[in-house]
Amino acid sequence: MFIFGLGYTASRLAARLRRDGWQVSATGRAGDVDFADADAVRAHIARASHILSSVPPDRDGDDPVLAHYGDVVRASSARWFGYLSSTGVYGDTGGAWVDESAPIGTGRRSARALADQKWQDLRPDMRVFRLPGIYGPGRSALERVREGKAHRIAIDGQVFSRVHVDDIIGGVMASFEGLPGVYNVADDRPCSQNAVIEGACALLGVAPPPLLSLEDAGLSPMARGFYAENRRVANGRAKRMLGWRPLYPSWREGLIACRNEEGN
């Protein structure tokens, strides 16, 4: 496996693959290949049986991997190609369910939608994984509660989907023998962010933070943008086509697993 961008999710995937006997190389701060070393990158692409990009686009929708190495990936003889995208490409649905047949590019993540489409167009055998809010050990509501950064916002009917990092890994690995295409990889039970924060507080035995209005919460523009969209992400296609099932169908099981892995 050759991975562009060894971030949180891709690092956990790489660790899992190595435990299973795979050889994994990657670009990124934690990787072993310099993205700017074109000869080295092209050599790794030539040797790889599986190629994955987890590198997001810039604000204009320009994808650095496609810009520098898209031609090499397109011409590669690897057996499998994947791209980690975002369910933010769907925009706001007013809390309604959305699946892979929905149009993309209508929301605030227009750059993501543009890159998502470019990766689909690169090769007919591409797998594009659209991911909602990612959490896992060391990066969950438990950390936000412990650090005093958790918020409860008074917005009626606000619902989000999320996914445990290990369920992303399960989806990616299930696709090794599955058909190419676009897949939502999300949990089964979308809910409000407040429910997750309250659950994390209960697991840690602390009182939940006060319920505030969006205006009084003092959120950053990026955090405020999180609350600007409201949707439930359907994962039925990944279940039908890949035989994938989430290990953590809701945040409850996922947070318990995070707490257990962290050892507290």
The CATH number of whichever domain residue 106 belongs to comes to 3.40.50.720
Query: Would you say residue 194 lies in a domain?
Result: yes
Residue 88 lies in a domain: yes
- Evaluate whether 259 touches 203 at the Cβ level (below 8 Å): yes
User: Is residue 57, in this structure, part of any structural domain at all?
Assistant: no
The CA dihedral of 195, 197, 199, 202, to the nearest 10 degrees, is: -140
pLDDT at 264: 57
Q: Which two structure tokens, joined as six digits, stand for 40? A: 């080295």
| pLDDT for the residue numbered 219 | 78
Q: Can you list the pairs that 206-210 forms with residues at least 24 positions away whose Cβ atoms lie under 8 Å?
A: 206/145, 208/150, 208/152, 209/145, 209/150, 209/151, 209/152, 210/152
178 occurs within a structural domain: yes
138 within some domain: yes
Rounded-to-integer distance, Cα 63 and Cα 69, Å: 10
Residue 31 is given by DSSP the state S
Half-sphere exposure of 243 (CA within 13 A, CB side): 7
Could you list the residue range(s) of the whole structural domain that residue 145 is in? 79-263
Number of domains in the chain: 1
Ranges of residues in the chain with a pLDDT under 70 are 264
Q: Specify the pTM.
A: 0.95
Q: Which two tokens stand for residue 171?
A: 């989806």
Give the C-alpha distances (Å, rounded to integers) separating 88 from 107, 161, 165, 220.
Answer: 7, 11, 17, 18
Indicate whether 259 belongs to any domain.
yes
